[in-house]
Amino acid sequence: MTSQLRPAFFMLLILALITGVFYPLAVTGIAQIVFPSQANGSLIMADGRAVGSELIGQQFDDPSYFWGRISATGAFPYNAFNSETLTASSGSNYGPLNPALTDMVQARIDALKAADPDNTLPIPVDLVTASGSGLDPHISIAAAYYQIHRVAEIRGLSEADVQFLVDKYTIGRQFGFLGEPRVNVLLLNLALDGIQ
């Protein structure tokens, strides 16, 4: 029996080292060298501290900022070691038969109308619903254009200047044909504040 256990244990140890230590270290090392920003969460830094990630949306409800999609993310960048500051990210989407979806959409419509009562444009759907993951950091160009008047008026800027920033931070289709053009809300809001 020991003649069978010894090679089995030896193979277990070898495979555990290969798959549990050497391979993860190699992949992590290559990622840190080839894609350092992506390997570290695509963090956006301002004044030497992380203010968010390009990949996870943040809630903005101040009328002087562009608002993103409805999300369940916390107000701070994700930090697994700081559970006191609501840093978790999770989906926030409801099914079409859930009455909470109707209530959430109506509350967001009311908030958008209260923030900009003179705006008569139709509200883009991505401003009142969550994405499939509830974490999307982007809004459509229509959603960004819908908010230009409000942001420009509150900040005392011309609508042309704010539209220039929206256009500057618009990301085209991936590979020229996948997806739709979109705007990263956090990057746009940081540009508005003159941080980036």
Q: Which residues of the chain carry a pLDDT beneath 70?
A: 72-93, 195-196
Residues 23, 113, single domain; the answer is no
- What pLDDT is recorded for position 90? 57
**From residue 54, how far is each of 25, 130, 146, 153, 154 by CA, in Å?**
25, 17, 22, 27, 26
Residues 80, 146, single domain; the answer is yes
Residues 149, 55, single domain; the answer is yes
Residues 6, 85, single domain; the answer is no
Residues 26, 89, single domain; the answer is no
Query: What angle is formed at CA 88 by the lines to CA 183 and CA 145, rounded to 5 degrees?
Result: 15
Task: Look up the domain containing 179 and give its range.
Answer: 41-192
- What pLDDT is recorded for position 29? 92
Residues 62, 129, single domain; the answer is yes
Residues 62, 20, single domain; the answer is no
In angstroms, the CA 19 to CA 177 distance is 37
Residue 196 has a CB neighbour count (10 Å cut-off) of 15
- What pLDDT is recorded for position 26? 94
Residues 93, 10, single domain; the answer is no
Residues 34, 49, single domain; the answer is no
Domain count, the chain: 2
Predicted structure pTM score: 0.75
Q: DSSP states of 16-48 as a string?
A: HHIIIIIHHHHHHHHHHHH-HHHHTT-EEEETT
- DSSP 8-state code for residue 174: B
Residues 63, 139, single domain; the answer is yes
Residues 74, 26, single domain; the answer is no
- What pLDDT is recorded for position 54? 82
- What pLDDT is recorded for position 196? 42
Enumerate the β-bridge partners of residue 185: none
Residues 96, 2, single domain; the answer is no
- What pLDDT is recorded for position 123? 93
